[in-house]
Structure 1
Amino acid sequence: MVRLAQGKLSVLEEKAADREVIVLLPSDQVSLKTVMLPTKWGRKLEQALPYLIEEQLAQDVDSMFIAIEQPTMVDEKHAIRIACCDKTWLSNWYSRFHEAGIEIHRMVPDALLLPNAQDGEASMIRLGEQWLVKQGDWQVAAVESSWLETYLHAAKVSIVNHFSPIEHAFAGIQWNAQEAEYDLPLAVCAKHLTLHKLTFNQGAFAQKKKQPQWWADWRSGLIAASVALVAFIGVKTVQLIHLNNEVANLKAEAVAAYQEAFPGKVVRPQLLRTQLRSALAQLDGGPETSFLKLTEQMVTVLSEVKQFSVETIRFDQRRNELRIRARGKDFQSFGQVKALFEQQGLSVDQGSLNNDGDFVVGELRVKGA
């Protein structure tokens, strides 16, 4: 906890390292108020709060910073506890701590951390030439020693529980010396940090979330890895889209081929393989089967002979014969094709062959069994 002159902040930098710093604001600069509300506390009331308390402030409300503690109830009515101070004054304190390299975890009025007092009572402790005074649990003051008697009578305090020795006991007031708890003001305040949740670390002065050290050490590597992962996923996504497009095109070609081979049949793309097998089974033993077998053998043969291309194919169902008009590199290519057909047990009649520029054009008649 800190309550010292601004010029001495630099001496705390080393001690404040890796510690939670709680700053005690002088209570003579802070005003605590309980604001009665027309309804339950919510976001709309939070936005309207400055206008609800404008008449209660001695300064322009725009120049004040308002810290909100928590909603409460007063005589079964909704209320909110707030603390106000000059915005420029508070900003100056934050700037000083920042310049000194000290991170503030909480800011709270010093007198608020005194022990709570009952109605008509006050808790007090001496701090320099001032007395910190707390009445109830939400009324505080910092009073010069010369004004103390006047203040206590004006505040109608009849019992004082004091945590520092007092030189002059004023008449009309019961003085209870808490000698067993006499201590330095900061020590007494530190014991009661949990009494209230109030902090001025709100709004524009909210504490920024500190990044863990492991993030600072690994941030660059993790960012690079993330970029690489995103790039990898992007490439794979593009590849997947390309493959899906190819699959769709192949399916369309397969459906078109099936419709051409079996006109009038309904095609179900997801069952195309099953439909094809069924259609071939129905054709088994028929003339279509002979055509398919011959064309299958023809594809096998032509795949082994280079620079030999088929121009036209005709199928004579009655003779179970394929009539192939083709173009080859030379006369030997026709002989090679004829020999390969015959090796598969087929009968081949070769028609006339003619030169056509750099190629030889001719006809083959391939007869099945």
Structure 2
Amino acid sequence: MSYRLYVRPLAPFADLDHSPDAQLYNWVLHDASGDSQARGTADPRDVIEQTLSQNALENVLLIGLVPGDEALFCVADIPAKQTRFIQQALPYAVEEQIAQDIDSVHLALGSRIEGGFRVAAIDRERMANWIDLFSGWDHLRLDAIFPDAALLPETDGGWSICLDGDNAMLISDRGEWLSIQSRNLAMFGYTMATPPSEEVVAEVPVTIYGTEQELDQQQAAISELRGAGRLRVRLETIELMPLELLAHAHHHHLSEPINLCQGSFGVKTGKASPLRAWKPLIAVACVWFVIQLGVEAGMGYYHQKHADDTREQAMAIYRDTFPNDQRTHAGNVRRVIEGQLRTIGSGGPSADFITLMKYTGDQYAKVPQNQSLTFNSINYSRSRGELVVDIRADSYDRMSALRSGLTQQGLEAQIGSVVNESSGARGRLTVSGG
């Protein structure tokens, strides 16, 4: 079951560098159905962490609420649709609405409304302080930070007000939030009662939330709001602290708050990967694979070098024995030696004219359909030990079969000067002792 912990720090705010344990919080714990399971007022951080520990709750989502006046509501009129282009144009679109250097402001993008995109602007240094305040809690994982007033349930076509001691949180139907002192409610009421010049509105609905005690204490301000003209005021009594109302509205999506944790202040979504439990095993497998790959590569290099050395040694021995043989190389030395051994083993004569003719004639007899294979002329060079035969065949395959047969007998046979004609092919077969 997924739990959410809504935490709202109380003023005065403690110095995190010198007395971090002095900060007090109001908090409420919700289960996945939105029901409150625990709550507290003016508790230090360790009390909240201890409560979670006693209930064996881990990985609870932390929702931090900061004062509404910490973040400014803006509207960015950007025609682009792709998020990348919107983010690039965002600083220029809201620069005139912010009274400080835009480079020192953190901008968080919200949903699109009529007139543009909803934007929350907060000082970067202040945002960094809030991130530090809500980070590193035991049993908790920071999920979002919202301006507290932005979580109020919206009133269609009007305003929502929540009385909070000496202060009041307000939000309009388009998501614009602000925090003011309660004594200024009546004055602000005239602003709410004045619609834009192009609109004709009979009345503006206003919903005021508060405990019975706070509603009684602010009777004078409420009466002035009701007398402001076109305001239709409705009172909603809440039984507990305003934080309960904010958490309830957020869970039931009664408003669209802007999460300040974006961009450089973004946090992980917290969605557990299905491979998370297998990460140690995957890491071990990857390490093993890299090691095995290194071993295989090393063994391959070793065996390849050993084979190259062996071939070099074999060729060195062969050249010592046959210094005049320049045609034999590492690729054919085995075949040449086998042919020579076969010739020696058969007890035949050396590769002179008679021997070469004998083998050539023998292989000629074995060529299929040798009637189409004819010898035009035969020449023999004693100095080179080569038999040169001008041959003609109905196809090159016949000549190739003859050459292959001679090669299998350990002789060196080459076909050169091949000419393809309409009646077949002709070429020159050169045969030597290998």
Q: Identify the TM-score tier after normalising by the shorter chain.
A: 0.5 to 0.7
Residue of structure 2 equivalent to 1:110: 148
Residue of structure 1 equivalent to 2:49: 13
Counterparts of 1:145 and 1:93, CA distance in 2: 25
Query: For 1:309-343, what per-residue CA distance to the aligned partner results, in whole angstroms no more than 9, with x for missing partners?
Result: xxxxxxxxxxxxxxxxxxxxxxxxxxxxxxxxxxx
* Structure 2 counterparts to residues 186-265 of structure 1, below 5 A: 186-193=243-250, 194=253, 195-196=255-256, 198-207=258-267, 230=290, 233-252=293-312, 257=318, 260=322, 263=325
- Whether the 8 Å contact between 2:168 and 2:181 is mirrored in structure 1 is yes
In structure 2, do the counterparts of structure 1 residues 148 and 200 end up closer, same or farther at CA, with 3 Å as the change threshold?
same
Query: For 1:118-143, what per-residue CA distance to the aligned partner results, in whole angstroms no more than 9, with x for missing partners?
Result: 23x11222222222221124211223
1:197 Cα deviation from its structure 2 partner = 6.5
Query: For 1:217-246, what per-residue CA distance to the aligned partner results, in whole angstroms no more than 9, with x for missing partners?
Result: x97x99899767755643443232021122
TM-score under structure 2 length normalisation: 0.52
Counterparts of 2:327 and 2:8, CA distance in 1: 93
Pick aligned residue for 1:53 from 94, 103, 113: 94
The secondary structure found in structure 2 opposite 1:191 is helix
Pick aligned residue for 1:4 from 5, 9, 25: 9
Structure 1 letter corresponding to 2:243: L
Counterparts of 2:146 and 2:87, CA distance in 1: 20
1:30 Cα deviation from its structure 2 partner = 1.6
1:177 Cα deviation from its structure 2 partner = 3.6
- Whether the 8 Å contact between 2:328 and 2:336 is mirrored in structure 1 is no
Residue of structure 1 equivalent to 2:348: 286
Counterparts of 1:174 and 1:152, CA distance in 2: 11
Q: Which has the higher Rg, Structure 1 or Structure 2?
A: 1
Counterparts of 1:274 and 1:160, CA distance in 2: 102
- Whether the 8 Å contact between 2:108 and 2:259 is mirrored in structure 1 is yes
Residue of structure 1 equivalent to 2:360: none
Worse overlay, 110-119 or 7-16 = 7-16
Pick aligned residue for 1:134 from 155, 165, 171: 171
Counterparts of 1:197 and 1:277, CA distance in 2: 87
Residue of structure 1 equivalent to 2:64: 23
In structure 2, do the counterparts of structure 1 residues 287 and 201 end up closer, same or farther at CA, with 3 Å as the change threshold?
same
1:100 Cα deviation from its structure 2 partner = 6.6
Structure 1 letter corresponding to 2:49: E
Pick aligned residue for 2:205 from 140, 159, 183: 159
In structure 2, do the counterparts of structure 1 residues 27 and 209 end up closer, same or farther at CA, with 3 Å as the change threshold?
closer
- Whether the 8 Å contact between 1:41 and 1:80 is mirrored in structure 2 is no
Query: For 1:250-284, what per-residue CA distance to the aligned partner results, in whole angstroms no more than 9, with x for missing partners?
Result: 34555674995994767683x77667656655663
Residue of structure 2 equivalent to 1:92: 129
In structure 2, do the counterparts of structure 1 residues 209 and 247 end up closer, same or farther at CA, with 3 Å as the change threshold?
farther
The secondary structure found in structure 2 opposite 1:249 is helix
The secondary structure found in structure 1 opposite 2:294 is helix
In structure 2, do the counterparts of structure 1 residues 199 and 209 end up closer, same or farther at CA, with 3 Å as the change threshold?
closer
1:160 Cα deviation from its structure 2 partner = 1.1
Residue of structure 2 equivalent to 1:63: 104
Counterparts of 2:269 and 2:143, CA distance in 1: 11
Q: Which runs of 5+ in 1 are unaligned?
A: 290-369
Counterparts of 2:292 and 2:125, CA distance in 1: 52
Pick aligned residue for 1:176 from 229, 234, 237: 234
Counterparts of 2:174 and 2:243, CA distance in 1: 18
In structure 2, do the counterparts of structure 1 residues 112 and 145 end up closer, same or farther at CA, with 3 Å as the change threshold?
same
Residue of structure 2 equivalent to 1:317: none
Residue of structure 1 equivalent to 2:181: 144
Counterparts of 1:279 and 1:127, CA distance in 2: 108
Structure 1 letter corresponding to 2:106: F
Counterparts of 1:251 and 1:210, CA distance in 2: 61
Percent identity of the aligned residues? 23
In structure 2, do the counterparts of structure 1 residues 27 and 73 end up closer, same or farther at CA, with 3 Å as the change threshold?
closer
1:285 Cα deviation from its structure 2 partner = 3.6
Q: Which runs of 5+ in 2 are unaligned?
A: 1-5, 14-22, 25-43, 196-203, 352-434
TM-score under structure 1 length normalisation: 0.60
The secondary structure found in structure 1 opposite 2:7 is coil
- Whether the 8 Å contact between 1:3 and 1:25 is mirrored in structure 2 is yes
Counterparts of 1:211 and 1:36, CA distance in 2: 32
Worse overlay, 251-260 or 109-118 = 251-260
Structure 2 letter corresponding to 1:174: R
- Whether the 8 Å contact between 1:112 and 1:137 is mirrored in structure 2 is no
In structure 2, do the counterparts of structure 1 residues 246 and 136 end up closer, same or farther at CA, with 3 Å as the change threshold?
same
Root-mean-square deviation (Å) = 4.2
1:247 Cα deviation from its structure 2 partner = 1.6
